[in-house]
Amino acid sequence: MELFRRSATIHNMPLQNRDYDFAADALFLDFDNTLVDFAPLPESVVLPPDLITTLQRLQHAANGALAIVSGRPLKQIDHFLSPLRLPVAGVHGAERRSADGRMTQLAVPDIERLLVCLQPLTLQHAGLLLEVKRGALALHYRRAPHLEQICVQAMSEALAHEQGFSLLRGNMVVEAKAADADKGKAIAAFMEEAPFAGRRPLFIGDDITDEVGFAWVQSETAGGLGIKVGLGPSLARARIASPAAVRSMLAQVLERSQ
């Protein structure tokens, strides 16, 4: 059964006649707008019933080769998926928990000056939210979309005096994150380790931060596939319509395995 629609813009990308193989593939999943639908605030996402059980069973069926790769801190992912503790890369790869539970934290720049610079803006506009992470700072404007340009400009100006950060435009958010951290490197690091090593990486994600992940999994060395959720330009060679479609596809994959 074909589970993903090939991207309309990319042709001649055969999937070796299969889409997902529990014995041969490693599955990497973004969190927001991939597994769960967007919500007005980061803490208000709602996990659909059965998602945790589906992930747990998938992980078991794949001999552990399933990980979450998110812009969120690892602790938040654990909180939402509790009691499940999956291998996770958080804050775009700045922190990572391997399948054996080992933690890796990249050295990250100090966000203190950025915080001081940007806090007045959030006091001025009630619809804005600053999300503080280890070595990253996200300025959310989902509840005040008309402030997008002001937010982007404020973040750019704050970053002009800083070293070691890169500016990331996400969905209704502009973020300063550690320049050294990216999802491609995080997936590459998982793929060096058991139980991921030797498998074909599949990465499902929706946002700009996921593009480096798609590029890495689709590299010649990795030989994998990127699957973009939703519309918009992407390097990913396959598409899936929505988080609901991702959840239903994961459930189908599981059903087929039994």
Ligand X SMILES: O=P(O)(O)OC[C@H]1O[C@H](O[C@H]2O[C@H](CO)[C@@H](O)[C@H](O)[C@H]2O)[C@H](O)[C@@H](O)[C@@H]1O
| Chain positions contacting ligand X, by CB under 6 A | 30-33, 38-42, 45, 70-72, 131, 138, 140, 142, 170-173, 207, 209
Closer residue to ligand X (CB): 127 or 257: 127
The nearest distance, CB 23 to ligand X, in angstroms, is 27
- Please, is 6 exposed, middle or buried when counting C-beta atoms within 10 Å of its C-beta (0-12, 13-18, 19+)? middle
The nearest distance, CB 225 to ligand X, in angstroms, is 18
Amino acid at 191: M
Catalytic site residue 30?
yes
The nearest distance, CB 198 to ligand X, in angstroms, is 26
User: Which residue number places its CB atom closest to ligand X?
Assistant: 71
**Annotated catalytic residue within 19, 25, 30, 32:** 30
Closer residue to ligand X (CB): 39 or 107: 39
Bridge partners (DSSP) listed for residue 27: 66, 202
Closer residue to ligand X (CB): 22 or 240: 240
Closer residue to ligand X (CB): 22 or 236: 236
The nearest distance, CB 137 to ligand X, in angstroms, is 10
Residues marked as catalytic: 30
